[in-house]
Amino acid sequence: MSRGAPGLATCLIAGALLSSSPAGAAPAAAPPGCASRTFDSAQYTVCSFDVRHDDIRLYWSGSDDKPYGNFAPLATALAARGRTLRFAMNAGMFGDDFAPVGLYVEDGKQLRKADTRAGPTNFHLLPNGVFWIGDGLAGVEETSRFLAAPPAARFATQSGPMLVIDGHIHPKILPTGASEKIRNGVCVLNGVTALFVISDAPVTFHGFARLFRDGLGCANALFLDGSVSSLYAPELGRDDELAPLGPMIGISAPAPH
């Protein structure tokens, strides 16, 4: 059972990212970092990074095999290795033991198997999907496609549901849905630009999916979680230590001397 839902300032990033984009159109390339974005009267924070230059990884447990549990312990662990945490976000759903729900790959090792079962939770609202990171390449794919032809992923996390599939909103995410929560998700443009998004106020599933498809031009996008959705963005003075977390997405850089 998930603690989420199966149970960045760079004030000006790029004009195209901060304004609406036509459906299916990718925004212009933006420098790395986070910025505010308004779409359909809802406010979001959109963080853009290039996997060819930014060290995007997944983190779950430390050298003692205990889950980090949140951003501060992760930042401390990285600092001990001479690195500075630049960005972090919760990376998918997790159980009471903070273990990832579904497929989880870290440093090329599969630590959890894929879960392809249907069910009443958000994770099991099929199709769900996988966010993966390889060498200079990344993607978001429906789980069945990922498993049928696995890419060379060094990191991967399964979550669900998919928000956008081949340019179409998930068939079970309806405009009539009234549930509103703080939500976060991810998509990848052109195989290299990872967009991590968190809503700044509660939004519906459909509104969130439309942001990815119509506002950001994402052909495929994945829901990461709701309610516990959290962001670490020092450039914004933001460190959401809202609740204990399972796996996390993190970007680090060598610490300045």
The tens digit of pLDDT for each residue in 77-109 reads 999 999 999 999 999 999 999 999 999 999 999
Give the span between the Cα atoms of 176 and 109, in whole angstroms.
41
Tell me the domain boundaries of the chain: 32-254
128 phi and psi, to 5 degrees?
Answer: -100, -170
Reported as half-sphere exposure (CB side, CA atoms, 13 A), residue 6 has a value of 28
What pLDDT score was predicted for residue 32? 66
87 phi and psi, to 5 degrees?
Answer: -160, 145
Give the span between the Cα atoms of 93 and 161, in whole angstroms.
11
Give the span between the Cα atoms of 17 and 15, in whole angstroms.
5
Average pLDDT, the chain: 89
The tens digit of pLDDT for each residue in 69-80 reads 999 999 999 999
The per-residue b/e assignment along 60-80, b for 16 or more CB within 10 angstroms, e otherwise, is bbeeeeebbbbbeebbebbee
Assigned token pair, 100: 């990832």
SS3 annotation, 77-138:
HHHHCCEEEEEEEECCCECCCCCECCCEEECCEEEECCCCCCCCCCCCCCCCEEEEECCCCE
The tens digit of pLDDT for each residue in 187-225 reads 999 999 999 999 999 999 999 999 999 999 999 999 999
pTM: 0.88
What pLDDT score was predicted for residue 3? 43
What pLDDT score was predicted for residue 257? 72
pLDDT tier for residue 256 given thresholds of 50, 70 and 90: confident
Share of the chain above pLDDT 70, in %: 88
190 phi and psi, to 5 degrees?
Answer: 55, 25
Residue 196 buriedness (CB in 10 A; 0-12 / 13-18 / 19+): buried
- The CB density around residue 23, as the number of other CB atoms within 10 Å, is 11
